[in-house]
């Protein structure tokens, strides 16, 4: 549905125009965020996206949308996702190949939750090399496993935007409702202590080698620190 711009305050419109002009002068950036479930990648992504004019591609969000829409791809991915296992490399590589060509990714992208295996990383590198591009930085969000259980089991998500809240650490203004849209928040089916164990095991065994694969581009972040402090470390890493 087209947006009625007459409803948008002039200062908001001017701010958006200024932002788009500033974006024209920013260098391209292709960034990977790596970290276990609940490490804060999703929380930090909107700031990075806005600051560097990038698109945010979270394979978990894309897959959940496909599951909700009951597409053939979603039906194929659902079983692995419910079990906390990884879906096939071909599915996620296909999703990323298509998504990175969208106009909103013209200045580059933030990959969140991808690549999760070395096979995915190599396929990503090949895909970018064919376009004369490459990954600039890999941000490694380090959080001790013991802290993640409380972060993940208390999480509430707005499915439309991927915005996440925490019932104790970052509650929405009104319980159960997204601050921006007023739409209901949901609990992810895989955000429970049992499935988290499988997801952490998959992370440590399959994703840790991805960090080694990109060793020269990796910046390690202490992601158990307060949000603003993590944001400052990210800003310094991407400056």
The interface region with ligand AMP, picked from 19-27, 47-55, 77-85, 136-144 by CB under 6 A, is 77-85
Per-residue CA distances from 14 to 2, 4, 19, 54, 202 (Å): 19, 16, 8, 20, 46
Considering only 87, 99, 143, 234, the residue that binds ligand AMP (CB under 6 A) is: 87
Instruction: State the nearest-atom distance from the C-beta of 75 to ligand AMP, in Å.
Output: 14
Which residue, 114 or 233, has its beta carbon nearer to ligand AMP?
A: 114
Under rule CB under 6 A, which residues in 207-226 are in contact with ligand AMP?
Answer: none
CA distances from 45 to 12, 52, 72, 123 (A): 22, 11, 29, 23
Burial classification of residue 149, based on how many CB atoms lie within 10 Å of its CB (0-12 exposed, 13-18 middle, 19 or more buried): middle
Q: Which of 33, 66, 86, 210 binds ligand AMP (CB under 6 A)?
A: 86
| Residue 221 DSSP SS3 | strand
Residue 111 engages ligand AMP in binding (rule: CB under 6 A)? no
Lookup: tokens for 168: 């104790």
Helices 59-68 and 89-99, axial angle in degrees (round to 10): 100
Could you tell me the smallest distance in angstroms from the CB atom of residue 155 to ligand AMP? 10
Q: Which residues are catalytic?
A: 41, 116, 155, 188, 199
Asked if 112 contacts 57 with a C-beta cutoff of 8 angstroms, the reply is yes
Span 174-193, contacts to ligand AMP by CB under 6 A: 190
**Which residue sits closest to ligand AMP, CB atoms considered?**
60
Binding site for ligand AMP (CB under 6 A): 37, 59-60, 63, 80-81, 84-87, 92, 113-114, 116, 120, 190, 199
């Amino acid at each position: 549905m087209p947006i009625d711009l007459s409803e948008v305050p002039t200062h908001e419109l001017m701010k958006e125009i200024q932002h788009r002009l500033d974006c024209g002068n920013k260098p391209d950036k292709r960034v990977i965020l790596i970290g276990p479930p609940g490490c804060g990648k999703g929380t930090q992504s909107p700031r990075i996206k806005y600051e560097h004019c990038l698109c945010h591609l979270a394979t978990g969000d894309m897959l959940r949308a496909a599951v909700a829409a009951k597409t053939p791809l979603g039906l194929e991915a659902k079983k692995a996702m419910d079990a906390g296992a990884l879906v096939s490399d071909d599915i996620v590589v296909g999703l990323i190949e298509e998504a990175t060509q969208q106009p909103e990714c013209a200045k580059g992208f933030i990959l969140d939750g991808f690549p999760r295996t070395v096979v995915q990383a190599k396929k990503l590198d090949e895909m970018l090399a064919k376009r004369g591009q490459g990954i600039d930085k890999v941000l490694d969000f380090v959080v001790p496993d013991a802290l993640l259980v409380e972060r993940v089991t208390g999480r509430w998500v707005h499915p439309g935007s991927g915005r996440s809240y925490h019932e104790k650490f970052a509650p929405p203004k009104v319980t159960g409702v997204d601050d921006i849209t007023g739409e209901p928040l949901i609990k992810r089916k895989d955000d429970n202590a049992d499935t988290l164990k499988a997801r952490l095991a998959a992370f440590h065994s399959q994703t840790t080698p991805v960090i080694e694969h990109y060793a020269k581009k990796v910046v390690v972040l202490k992601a158990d620190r307060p949000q603003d402090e993590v944001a400052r470390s990210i800003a310094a890493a991407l400056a």
